[in-house]
């Protein structure tokens, strides 16, 4: 089972509309939780299966204007990490996938919903590349998949050096400003 539904909205934390917060939380966190619950029961009965949640590199570092999205991906990751241990030795694997920027409609949709222009961070990967790596994950389960391997190293550095990372994040903030989108 692959839980891949999710969306983002750009807003400062103190400006996030409550209804949008609820919608993002319900889709990104509760949607994953529901899917995990439903998939676990038959998989446990047959002592086999693989539950995969497509999270984000944002699960490991809050992004400016994507704070609520980042929070939901961190919550999603916590669900995966807990379930992975809970189902250890049952024959059911639980994994998370952490893309950085995937060439999908995600950023265009987030920009249109929030009326703030957004693009991904760093080099974008195609959905096909990420999907191929997920297929390999299914064949060879492991706890986490980072489709862009250098991102995991970068996020480890970000954890060790939060001041430096905050400084870098401040530089991308001006590039994400309200726009007159159609």
pLDDT digits (tens, 9 = 90+) for 143-153: 999 887 766 66
pTM reported for the whole predicted model? 0.81
Return the structure tokens found at 100.
Answer: 């950085």
Which residues, at least 6 apart from 129, have a Cβ–Cβ distance to it below 8 Å? 147
Residues with a catalytic annotation lie at 69
For the 2-175 domain, the top CATH level (class) is alpha beta
- Which range, 7-16, 133-142, 158-167, 171-180, has the best average confidence (pLDDT)? 133-142
Would you say 95 and 1 are in contact if contact means Cβ atoms under 8 Å apart? no
Which residues on adjacent β-strands are paired with residue 94?
A: 51
Contact between 50 and 93 (Cβ < 8 Å):
yes
């Amino acid at each position: 089972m692959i839980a891949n539904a999710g969306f983002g909205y750009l807003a400062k934390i103190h400006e996030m509309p409550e209804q949008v917060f609820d919608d993002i939380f319900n889709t990104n966190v509760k949607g994953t939780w529901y899917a995990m619950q439903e998939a676990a029961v038959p998989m446990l009965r047959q002592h086999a299966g693989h539950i995969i949640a497509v999270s984000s590199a944002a699960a490991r570092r809050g992004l400016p204007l994507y704070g609520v999205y980042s929070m939901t991906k961190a919550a999603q990751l916590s669900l995966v990490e807990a379930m992975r241990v809970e189902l250890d030795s049952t024959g059911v694997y639980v994994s998370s996938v952490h893309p950085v920027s995937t060439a999908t409609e995600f950023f265009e949709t987030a920009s249109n919903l929030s009326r703030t222009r957004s693009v991904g961070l760093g080099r974008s990967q195609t959905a096909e590349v990420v999907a191929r790596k997920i297929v390999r994950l299914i064949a060879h389960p492991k706890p986490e998949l980072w489709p862009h391997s250098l991102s995991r190293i970068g996020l480890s550095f970000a954890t060790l050096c939060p001041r430096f990372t905050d400084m870098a994040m401040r530089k991308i903030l001006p590039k994400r400003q309200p726009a007159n989108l159609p």
